[in-house]
Amino acid sequence: MTMRWGELPRTTRDEVRRLAQKGYPHPDPAIQRAAADWGVRVRRLLVWLFPLMAVAVLPTFLPSSWRYGASGVVDFLLGAWIRGAEILVLVGAIWFTVSVRHSERVERVNTEALLNAVHRPATEPFTAHRRLLVPGYDLGVVTWGVFAATMTLSMLDSVGEMTAEDSPAILRTLTPWAESVVITFGVSLGAIHLATAAMIPRGRGALVALDADGVTIPHLGLAFGWAEVDRVEFGHGMSLAFRLRDADGVLRRAQPKPWRRWQVRHLQGVLSIPAVSMREPISEVVAKARALHSASLAGTAAR
């Protein structure tokens, strides 16, 4: 029976956090798995936090003419929204400080312990699949896009107020220039959101395919053999990471979509696939990759 984090005694949870801060996992494998699973759940919840924060503070960036010229009902709803946002931020800050600020450390050290305990993992071909939706990131693209549009409208409204008919002539002269700057800012911010969304692979296809010959990463149009991999790591930010022997040579073979070329150019020796994009548990994916890499190296040495 799988043990859940919430079912552990408080003293045990405190012990797990204390050991993790020192870089050690809990000695009990069942508790290691419970701690690792808890870290996964917290990480997925935290992914939602920033887009929800954007939604929460959105009313403060509405154009002033919308906020102060609205009816009493709308004004009441906006006020309730802002008060609710303040409560949400406060509760989130307390929850993070008291409960989850060490969650990534807890997840990492205990997941690594589980990986190291797998002495003979299977070496059959394995495919980690993309998630159809990446919760939080998908919501974030929408909420931050709306946030950028609202901020742009608010700034345009402020420019209009400063350059009213009774304003000094020099301000009215600068109006077209100021409006152009604001619109350029809004379009640039929107483009950044779209580019970020485009770089996250989605769908039900393969995110990374592993077999005896090597690794295939479809969304980057890249395939490479195990001989080109120095080691497989449980990477920073909870990811599957391939440290390449000749990163420049491997990455030159990549044929990504145009919007992912920047992503490839900025990979500095380590090719990482974040866990948040995977349907399968990161521990399972890393264990399979390490097993296939080790089997390939052993086969090469035997020849």
> Quick one: pLDDT at residue 184?
86
Mean pLDDT of the chain: 77
d(CA 161, CA 62): 14
Single residue among 112, 147, 162 that ends a domain in this structure: 112
Residues 106 and 10 in one domain: yes
Instruction: Please identify which residue in the block is written with the tokens 């020099």.
Output: 170
Residues 220 and 297 in one domain: yes
Question: Would you say residue 195 lies in a domain?
Answer: yes
Write down the pTM of the prediction. 0.68
Sign of the alpha-carbon torsion through 22, 104, 243, 279 = positive
> Quick one: pLDDT at residue 170?
66
Question: Would you say residue 40 lies in a domain?
Answer: yes
pLDDT-flagged residues of the chain (< 50): none
Question: Would you say residue 264 lies in a domain?
Answer: yes
> Quick one: pLDDT at residue 114?
84
Residues 224 and 298 in one domain: yes
> Quick one: pLDDT at residue 210?
93
> Quick one: pLDDT at residue 215?
93
Mapping DSSP to helix (H, G, I), strand (E, B) and coil, where does residue 133 land?
A: coil
Contact status, residue 212 vs residue 249, Cβ threshold 8 Å: no
Residue 289 structural domain: 206-302
> Quick one: pLDDT at residue 234?
84
Question: Beta strand 239-244 with 270-274: parallel, antiparallel or unpaired?
Answer: antiparallel
Residues 172 and 217 in one domain: no
For the chain, the domain total comes to: 3
Contact status, residue 88 vs residue 20, Cβ threshold 8 Å: no
Among 43, 106, 104, 122, CA closest to 287: 122
257's CB contacts (< 8 A; 6+ apart) are 198, 219, 221
Question: Would you say residue 132 lies in a domain?
Answer: no
> Quick one: pLDDT at residue 209?
93
Question: Would you say residue 121 lies in a domain?
Answer: no
Mapping DSSP to helix (H, G, I), strand (E, B) and coil, where does residue 208 land?
A: strand
